[in-house]
Chains A and B, each alone.
Chain A
């Protein structure tokens, strides 16, 4: 019975550590050893085993408090790592500042750099700074998926209305399979990141509302090839600043030790930055588009947090 109480104590503490499984197990083994030594000493002083274990856990402190302090000790990020985490946002901001977003070659080089960086470091066990890079790796697949999704949706509508999808059937079937398969893959990746820490998943999708906002702007202004150059100069500058804000917030979230401060910073910054992007690209905060961006940014924070709860519940049930 006492062993179960200790397992529960260590289990609650372990959930707060948000470390990779190997490191987490190491910390919990060490604390378990401490509890064993303390309980043994208390039993030698005449306490019953049950009282000894309870007092040992009590003297170590509440699992929430000890877990949070250990989290802060293990998640201190050096300035260099915080800068590395913020770097992709800075680079994307530079693309806008230099009006290079329509230079396909430059964009391709940037996305390749993000992909190669992520793949190289992912193999050795992903360092915490890689998640914003991973987010940019997903930009090109997300754009392809969005295109396939819109085509498949349109073809499905045609199928219902006219009895034919309007595109070759094989292409329609392949497109549908791709759309569903990509959702499954993206979901699995999200769950994998959330297992490490849902905050990393939020940092991964942090720029997405800004990118969506910009794509809507581009679409409303005639696409990549036809645009008003003067207007674009202003919008590019403002978009670059929005990406610098993303970079600054990311660096702060990585650099601070306290989890409460990390979550609060992100919870405040995500909707504010999404609305700033909306203001830049849509011209007004009182529109359906701005509401959609706000919704996206809140989902970017809330969905990974909710998912982590579900994964933890699933693990407990499986155990």
Chain B
């Protein structure tokens, strides 16, 4: 699976995780995503806003205009209670998936180990 596909499948979890730490606006989310993943995830900017608006219409986040540190108004996204519950369930699912993958990978001696 390509990095792009992995990002696409994890967009919801990543965005909810970021706004769960602190309210953020769109451009800040792009930068934080890149920073926190040490440049591994580079969000395609055009797909960010549709993803944010989907989360908002699902009631997982809410947007509100307020001044950014530079004084200009930006639309900050906050996580809702429903968003926190969803994030918790996504994280549990992700952990279980990762554990299951790990178990399968570890259980099979690779060709490399046999030789």
Contacts and interface: CB of A to CB of B under 8 A. Distances in A.
Contacts of B44: 61
Interface residues of A, number: 22
B43 to A, nearest CB: 11
Given A33-B25, A76-B54, A69 B47 contact: yes
Contacts of A256: none
A34 B49 CA distance: 10
Contacts of A29: 75
Contacts of B27: 33-34, 37-38
A73 interface: yes
Interface string B6-26: 000000000000000000011
A307 interface: no
Interface of B: 25-27, 44-47, 49-51, 53-54, 57, 63, 72-75
Contacts of A74: 53, 57
A228 interface: no
Q: Is the interface of A mostly helix, strand, loop or mixed?
A: helix
Contact of B46 (A37, A69, A76): A69
Nearest to B52: A73
Given A33-B27, A33-B73, A33-B75, A66 B53 contact: no
Given A33-B27, A76-B57, A60 B45 contact: yes
Contacts, number: 53
Given A30-B26, A37-B27, A76-B57, A66 B72 contact: no
A113 interface: no
A293 B26 CA distance: 49
Contacts of A216: none
A70 interface: yes
20 contacts: A27-B53, A30-B49, A33-B25, A33-B26, A33-B27, A33-B74, A33-B75, A38-B27, A60-B45, A61-B45, A61-B46, A62-B46, A65-B46, A66-B49, A66-B50, A69-B46, A72-B50, A73-B49, A73-B57, A74-B57
Nearest to A63: B46
A72 to B, nearest CB: 7
Contact of B53 (A36, A37, A62, A73): A73
Contacts of B51: 73
Contacts of A38: 27, 45
